Amino acid sequence: MPKTATSAYPPLRPTPTANPGLPKILGEFETLTASLDYAARGVTGFNFYSARSELSHVMPFRDLRESAVNHALRLSASGIKPGERVALLAANTPDFLVHFFACQYAGIIPVPMPLPTAFGRREAYVAQIRNQIVSATPSMLLGLPDYLPMITEAVEGRGLKRISTYADVATWTETSGQLHQARADELSYIQYSSGSTRFPTGVCVTHRALMKNCSAMSHAVENFADQRAVSWLPFFHDMGLVGFMLAVLASQTSTDYLATEDFARRPLTWLRLISENRATMSYSPSFGYELCARRVQTMPEGSLGLDLSSWRIAGIGGEMIKPQVMQMFGETFKPYGFRELAFNGSYGLAECVLGVSFSRPLTGMTLDHIAKDGLATHLATPVPNDGSPMGRTFVGCGVVIKDHNVEIRDVDDAHVLGQREIGRVYFSGPSVMTGYYNDPRATAETLIDGWLDTGDLGYWLGYELFIVGRAKDMMIVNGRNVWPQDIEWTVEHMDGMRSGDSAAIVLVDSQDNERPTILVQCRPANVEERGALIADIKARVQEAIGILCDVVLVPPRSLPKTTSGKLARGKAKTMFEAGEITALDT
């Protein structure tokens, strides 16, 4: 079990970076359990820190394996059979990790569940959990005592055999039964980080796909013997779960954790950990870098005492990369030894386990300035970077990981495109998911002849992949996936609204910020009523979805429909941008 800091013991020490006597293997294992068996032979492991960067738990991989095996036997003895699912509340705690790996040794399929993150919104959170439970049909749910009342409400009537706390499992009977021998083609876990919250789709990841992706990613970021990772990313997202729990373990890399909520409250603790532990690799969506840079601006200059010179892979992923934000971070932290060359643009998605492409380490960001009309003309035409509103800057996402392929295909006739031609991004190779759990329709729409339709739009510049937007409708707001259907459903269930009255789209403002926007067909002619309607819609969407949207009222019957009568969302966006749909006076 994890060791806990108390005054009776000498001060805790984090697991070392170096692993003398155990050659580094970069994920070349058949199964996740095999990778933990190997890592457990060394001295590296996971370390958990408090919001004030005090070490609270140390869990060498050796101890993690021992606890996981022990709890695997308890889970098996409780009657759960291999192949059954267990929902795990994915807190940044040692308990979550122990039980995730216990499932692996028992042949049980863990399903990480999200934590709540905002004021109010209890109903929305409970609904999200319930929808995931309906999709994954787990036999058991394990969580933290503080959250169990809310979770129990969410899973009521779903036929779970047992709902329990992590701590409770330690008291269950342990049998001397056999551990499950995982096979490469069995599922290792199911991840719900894509899909709408109303109709979630669980990505099925096999041991083989996981190991292939972990291995390819570790090679891409040149995970040598001096690598040490720091992460505050949540474990219910692919970047946190795979990038900073599974891939680091599969490469025997010591990793220091800060809980996501502690990062959000005190973002500079992230940088303090990197500095103090001489970490080399850490990732964040753009907004994490932005939070840090903003926080420092309110502090006296030079007061931080940070040394960020060890940071070799400052990874950026999870949403469209904002170059100005990254440059602001680079300049702010240059006096603290931060190297802008460490910025590493990358691209990935849970359907490919995690990583698709990475920049070469220590080459910095590749910026490309292209004409803004590229999305319409399907050509990424270079323009001078003179701040003209006709241009937009994109950040390169690096080169495709080894043993995998990317094709960019024409949006209309699917022929394979060449340099600077914008099209849909397709991915193939051993780390593509086997499908969405229990959802053959969604699977068939996404996996075609061994190629995964990522739903993203991009182009090639040399061997580097640039992502410019999404062909599918998903929006990404502060690293979170938001589906326009969920927003529209919310609006259209308000009083006086009808189905088809709204279109949720993303508009890009003059500062290159992506702004989620709802076009709403409006009947009231009175300007005051319109103002109240806008406020109501904003508030309702904020409460139900948790994001702040711009609301634009448009005339009745102005939103375009497809031939089958569904909203033509993409067309609505193009028409609005072209001025063919005009906003009503408000």
| Residue ranges in contact with other proteins by CB under 8 A | 115-122, 125, 144, 146-147, 150, 261, 264-266, 287, 291, 478, 538-540, 542-543, 546-548
581 sits in which H/E element: none
Minimum CB separation of residue 198 from other proteins in Å reads 18
Name residues whose C-beta falls within 8 Å of residue 309's C-beta, 6 or more positions apart in sequence. 337, 338, 339
95 sits in which H/E element: helix 94-106
Minimum CB separation of residue 128 from other proteins in Å reads 11
Q: Is the Cβ of residue 53 or residue 366 nearer to other proteins in the bound state? A: 53
Cβ contact 102:142 at 8 Å: no
Name residues whose C-beta falls within 8 Å of residue 99's C-beta, 6 or more positions apart in sequence. 68, 71, 75, 86, 88, 110, 142, 166, 169
Minimum CB separation of residue 503 from other proteins in Å reads 21
Cα dihedral 408, 414, 415, 420, rounded to 10, equals -40
Q: Quote the CA–CA distance of 383 and 236 in Å, as a whole number.
A: 40
Q: Is the Cβ of residue 545 or residue 581 nearer to other proteins in the bound state? A: 545
Q: Quote the CA–CA distance of 196 and 282 in Å, as a whole number.
A: 28
Minimum CB separation of residue 199 from other proteins in Å reads 22
Q: Is the Cβ of residue 183 or residue 265 nearer to other proteins in the bound state? A: 265
Q: Quote the CA–CA distance of 149 and 163 in Å, as a whole number.
A: 10
Q: Quote the CA–CA distance of 246 and 117 in Å, as a whole number.
A: 24
End-to-end alpha carbon distance in the chain: 61
Q: Is the Cβ of residue 317 or residue 391 nearer to other proteins in the bound state? A: 317
Q: Quote the CA–CA distance of 332 and 294 in Å, as a whole number.
A: 9
Q: Is the Cβ of residue 125 or residue 244 nearer to other proteins in the bound state? A: 125
And the tokens for 351?
């359907």
Cα dihedral 528, 534, 537, 542, rounded to 10, equals -130
Minimum CB separation of residue 329 from other proteins in Å reads 16
Other Cβ atoms closer than 10 A to 177: 12
Cβ contact 354:217 at 8 Å: yes
Minimum CB separation of residue 285 from other proteins in Å reads 11
CA nearest neighbour of 79 among 161, 144, 134: 161
CA nearest neighbour of 269 among 56, 6, 7: 56
Q: Is the Cβ of residue 222 or residue 543 nearer to other proteins in the bound state? A: 543
Minimum CB separation of residue 494 from other proteins in Å reads 13
Cβ contact 424:471 at 8 Å: yes
Minimum CB separation of residue 37 from other proteins in Å reads 34
Q: Quote the CA–CA distance of 381 and 374 in Å, as a whole number.
A: 7
Cβ contact 167:191 at 8 Å: no
Q: Quote the CA–CA distance of 40 and 83 in Å, as a whole number.
A: 25
Q: Quote the CA–CA distance of 235 and 485 in Å, as a whole number.
A: 25
Other Cβ atoms closer than 10 A to 555: 13
Cβ contact 296:327 at 8 Å: no
The packing angle between helices 207-220 and 32-39, to 10°, is 50
CA nearest neighbour of 221 among 311, 106, 108, 301: 311
Minimum CB separation of residue 478 from other proteins in Å reads 6
And the tokens for 348?
């990935």
Minimum CB separation of residue 92 from other proteins in Å reads 11
CA nearest neighbour of 476 among 314, 349, 292: 349
Q: Is the Cβ of residue 478 or residue 574 nearer to other proteins in the bound state? A: 478
Minimum CB separation of residue 539 from other proteins in Å reads 4
Q: Is the Cβ of residue 91 or residue 352 nearer to other proteins in the bound state? A: 91
Minimum CB separation of residue 131 from other proteins in Å reads 16
Q: Is the Cβ of residue 125 or residue 189 nearer to other proteins in the bound state? A: 125
Q: Is the Cβ of residue 89 or residue 111 nearer to other proteins in the bound state? A: 89
Minimum CB separation of residue 146 from other proteins in Å reads 4
* DSSP assignment letter at 495: T
Minimum CB separation of residue 269 from other proteins in Å reads 11
Question: Nearest-5° angle of CA 425, CA 428, CA 432?
Answer: 105
Cβ contact 270:281 at 8 Å: no
Minimum CB separation of residue 488 from other proteins in Å reads 19
